Structures are given as C-alpha cells and as structure tokens.
C-alpha cells in the first residue's frame, strides 16, 4: 500500500514544516508523489469581483486558495442570495469525483489559487490513499462548520450573528497567522456589508446597524469602515450566544 505522502494539502505556500494547519503541499515530504502533483499543478489569478465558477459549470480542476478571498454562494431566481462558505487561504475548492460545481464561487478580493488538473488528481488520489483520507478529514471539517453555521442562521439574533461572524473571522485570521493573543486583537474585514448580510441571512442595513450598536457598546472599535479592533475577545464572544471557555480556539 502506498503511503508516500504522509501529510499535506493543496496549498503550496510556506512549506517549511508541513504542519496540518498550513495544509501545504510540503516539498519536504516525499518526493515521488509530490513530483506528480507538481506536474499537474498550475496557478490562476482572479480580480476582485470576478467569478471563478458558476453553479453547474464543468470543473476541470481542484484547487487550493493561496491568497485572497472567495465566497461560495447560492442565488434564487428572485435574487435572494445566501453565502454558504467563505474560502480563505489554505481552503480547498473542488469535488473529486464530481463533474459540476454545486455552488457559485466568486473572488471577493484579488485571488490566487493553486490548481491541479482534476483527472490526474483523481488518479493520484486513487493510488495514494493518504490523499483521500486527508480530503475526507477536510470535508468533515467543512461539514461541521456548515452545520455550526446552520445554528447561526436559524436561531441567532442579528446582533449574535454579527458577533459570531466577527469572532470567526478573527479566529481564522489568528490561526492563519499563528497568533495566540486573547485581547487587543485586530481584524480587517474582508467583506462588504452586503456580503456579510448574505452570509448571515440579513440585510445590509441590519448589518450596518448592528455593527454600529456593537461599536456604541464598546465591544468593538472601528477605524474606518473595515478595520476592527477587539479590545476583549471574551466580551465579543459573550455577544455570540455561544458558550466560551476562554481560549481563542474554543
């Protein structure tokens, strides 16, 4: 049985120590399978606002976000849209074994993705079980996040929704940059008010009002429209409605 690649994912940045949290194709791992990944690898860039995939499109690659941000969303005929996922650096795009994209993928900022041609990637997956295992773990993570988000959408108030979003973005940011502070955190909002609304199942006016309310309450400090300072992360967490035991990664 082939276990050449022991740990990795599909992002090719920062391959120093191949930690799981980097989810990086690690050039230090095992050379032979990696060479095959390298062969089928290429980069793509998108400008802010550009679509990457429309729901129903044929997918001829799987990919990993290298830099920038994309959204995964669904739109009804009458224009109501719901974001179903936020793709940040190290996130995976694509479905091995599926031919068509199930949701719209749109670049929100300038975006670079590291693509692997789908056919050969699937073949490699078939011969390297650890890739499948890794992908299963990542998919289970995504499934858990999606289900947690269902609680936010179905049961939380507007204020709790905003607090939850800020908390999640702050956490993702901190783990990506390997920070572990608990207070005095900072966050550059990657989304417009409208995009936040689409993520939270609200209108942009409500988003704006609730952000103002959190600001007035001193729970966040705004510098400009997008730069958020969080004086005390625990206080923000208290607004989410979730129980919180103190760690950043609770």
Q: Which does 209 bind (CB under 5 to 8 A by kind): its own copies, DNA, none?
A: DNA
Query: Is position 6 an interface residue for its own copies (rule: CB under 8 A)?
Result: no
Three-state DSSP class for residue 233: helix
CB of 167 to its own copies, least distance (A): 15
Q: What single-letter DSSP state applies at residue 157? A: -
CB of 138 to its own copies, least distance (A): 10
* Positions in 103-132 near its own copies (CB under 8 A): 103, 125-127, 129, 132
Q: Which two tokens stand for residue 44?
A: 């793509």
Q: Which two tokens stand for residue 113?
A: 């993705």
Question: DSSP strand E in 76-156: where?
Answer: 81-87, 92-93, 104-107, 111-117
Instruction: Round to the nearest angstrom and report the end-to-end CA distance of the chain.
Output: 37
Query: Is position 204 an interface residue for DNA (rule: CB under 7 A)?
Result: yes
**Chosen residue from 45, 50, 137, 212 binding its own copies by CB under 8 A:** 137
Indicate the helix (H) or strand (E) that contains 98.
none
Measured from the CB atom, the residue of 27 and 208 that comes closer to DNA is 208
16 class by beta-carbon count within 10 Å (0-12 exposed, 13-18 middle, 19+ buried): exposed
Placement of tokens 């499934």 in the chain = 143
Give contact residues for its own copies (rule: CB under 8 A).
1-2, 72, 74, 76-78, 80-82, 84-85, 95-98, 102-103, 125-127, 129, 132-133, 135-137, 139-140, 142-144, 146-151, 153-155, 200-201, 241-243
Give contact residues for DNA (rule: CB under 7 A).
157-159, 189, 192-194, 201-209, 211-212, 222, 224-226
């Amino acid at each position: 049985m082939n276990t050449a690649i022991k740990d990795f994912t599909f992002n090719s940045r920062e391959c120093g120590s191949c930690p799981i949290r980097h989810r990086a194709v690690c050039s230090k791992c095992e050379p032979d399978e990696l060479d095959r990944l390298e062969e089928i690898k290429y980069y793509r860039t998108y400008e802010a606002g550009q679509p990457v995939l429309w729901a129903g499109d044929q997918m001829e690659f799987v990919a990993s976000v290298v830099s920038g941000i994309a959204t995964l969303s669904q739109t009804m005929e009458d224009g109501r849209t719901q974001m179903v996922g936020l793709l940040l650096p190290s996130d995976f795009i694509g479905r091995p074994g599926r031919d068509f994209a199930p949701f719209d993928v749109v670049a929100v900022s300038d975006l670079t993705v590291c693509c692997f041609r789908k056919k050969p990637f699937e073949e490699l997956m078939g011969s390297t079980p650890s890739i499948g295992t890794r992908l299963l773990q990542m998919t289970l993570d995504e499934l858990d996040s999606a289900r947690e988000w269902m609680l936010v959408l179905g049961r939380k108030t507007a204020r709790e929704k905003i607090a939850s979003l800020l908390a999640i973005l702050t956490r993702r940011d901190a783990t990506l940059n390997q920070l572990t502070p608990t207070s005095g955190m900072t966050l550059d909002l990657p989304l417009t008010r409208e995009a936040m609304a689409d993520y939270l199942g609200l209108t942009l006016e409500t988003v704006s009002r609730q952000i103002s309310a959190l600001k007035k309450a001193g729970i966040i400090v705004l510098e400009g429209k997008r730069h958020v300072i969080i004086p005390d992360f625990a206080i923000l967490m208290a607004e989410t409605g979730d129980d919180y035991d103190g760690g950043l990664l609770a």
